[in-house]
Amino acid sequence: MAVVRVDLLSGDEIEAVHEKTLQILEDPGVAVHSPAALRVLEFGGARVDTKSMRARIPESLVKETLQRLPKTIRLGARNPKQGMVAPRIGPPYMATNGTAVYMTELGSEAKRTTTAKDLRDFMILCDAMDALDYVWPIVAAHDAPAETHALVELVTSLLHTTKHVQGEALSAQEARAEIEVGAAIAGGMDELARDPVFSVVQCPICPLQFERGSVEATMEFARAGVPVVSMSMALTGMTSPVTLASTIAIVNAENLASFAISQMTKKGAPVVYSSDSTSPNMMTGEIHYGAVEELLLGSAVAQMARRYGAVSMVGGFGVGLSGESPGIHLDPSELLFTAMTTAAQTDFGSGIGGLDGAKGASLEQVIIDCDLWEAAREARKVVSFEEPRFALDLIRSVGPGGTFVGQPHTLKNMRTELFLPSPEKARILAGYRLNRDRREIVKRAEERVKEILASHVPQPVDPAVKAEVDRILERHL
């Protein structure tokens, strides 16, 4: 089997990054602002200074951590057919963008803060979109209490889509509440660990820091068997040195340190190596999604994840992230680099529906991004080189100067070998030519959003389960 891939690092360079990462983990080490997390690292062999909240992680602990990593990760779903297993050959599983603080009104470019009701509408739309394999809570529920907003967002998402939901937690208490909800929906704690209906993204604070609430939530999820995505978000020249080599090493160190905390908490805890690192606009300080450096960093850290046998999430796709209103806001070169991040051999990606450097979101943008992603992901299709695929007998039969158009072999295999969208899909994709007016593109997306929200009803949660989830929410709000 073969797939398109972008590799930045040679074998020697992979080992150089690994060696420099080990040196970083020893000196300066990582700041871990949690006595509980420091204790599990110390138990594993780290040298801990409780006064500075610093852990120096030796090579022996890194080796033990890597030996404990699970070889495969399963992300379940309310609909078992929508579960995902990684590592994956072919295009990455794709999700929405996450927890934007504002959205644009449907049919308007007016911005407003978001509520749980808005998130519900987004989840119903996302449930209907075949291009989305799983979802992040795409907008924040500002009407929920600040200390439990992630819990409300997780519940709202789980109730209004049958797909896997990937959330977050800001404290151990919130993590325990989310685990209760997940267990209620999955049918028990054992079922949640076996086939988790949700997972979480828990970000280190770059460079090399772990905030107490997030890292203690990570430990709770490790005990429960809920997969944790340790997303490093380095910005070259700001939160990491400007050189790509040093940024790659810092991303690698943050992931390995997060893995150590999870594996020392519970052996075999499901974890995902992750990076959403890129370069900033050095004139404004804003994140630059679609930058050339995003592709290079994503490619390199995906190689590091494979070096450790870890599942990875390092790619993304979204053509609205450079604008504040729905549409296509990347120039052609940025669009190429955004699409090519999927060639970094990652298992998971995200970004659908996002605007304005991930600060905003749009219902129309979900439609636009999904349409374009369906075409872009074909670049990562699996190409078979098994003996029958060479079709030597057919080549001999047709002979020099012949044609293969009318051969049964062509009719039998063309839809698996070639990208042949349906007439309806072809019509939709034709609407995204570069000479098309943005307003025309957005208007068509708006009409499809309205149609889906008026007609699509996600499979409901069992009433008894819904009542139990409501009781959990009531206890924690």
Sign of CA dihedral 51, 52, 58, 63: positive
Closest among 351, 319, 346 to 335, alpha carbons compared = 319
pTM: 0.93
| Domains of the chain, earliest start first | 67-380 (3.20.20.480), 387-417 (no CATH)
Tell the residue number behind the tokens 């039969």, with chain if given: 397
CB atoms inside a 10 Å sphere around CB 390: 11
Q: Measured between alpha carbons, how far is 317 from 281 in angstroms, rounded to an integer?
A: 19
pLDDT in tens, the chain (477 residues): 678 788 889 999 999 999 999 999 999 999 999 999 999 999 999 999 999 999 999 999 999 999 999 999 999 999 999 999 999 988 999 999 999 999 999 999 899 999 999 999 999 999 999 999 999 999 999 999 988 999 999 999 999 999 999 999 999 999 999 999 999 999 999 999 999 999 999 999 999 999 999 999 999 999 999 999 999 999 999 999 999 999 999 999 999 999 999 999 999 999 999 999 988 888 888 777 777 888 889 999 999 999 999 999 998 888 888 889 999 887 766 677 677 777 788 999 999 999 998 899 999 999 999 999 998 888 888 888 999 999 999 999 999 999 999 999 999 999 888 888 889 888 888 888 777 888 999 999 999 999 999 999 999 999 999 999 999 999 998
Which one-letter amino acid corresponds to residue 200? V
C-alpha dihedral (137, 138, 144, 145), degrees to nearest 10: 80
Contact 64, 115 (CB under 8 A): no
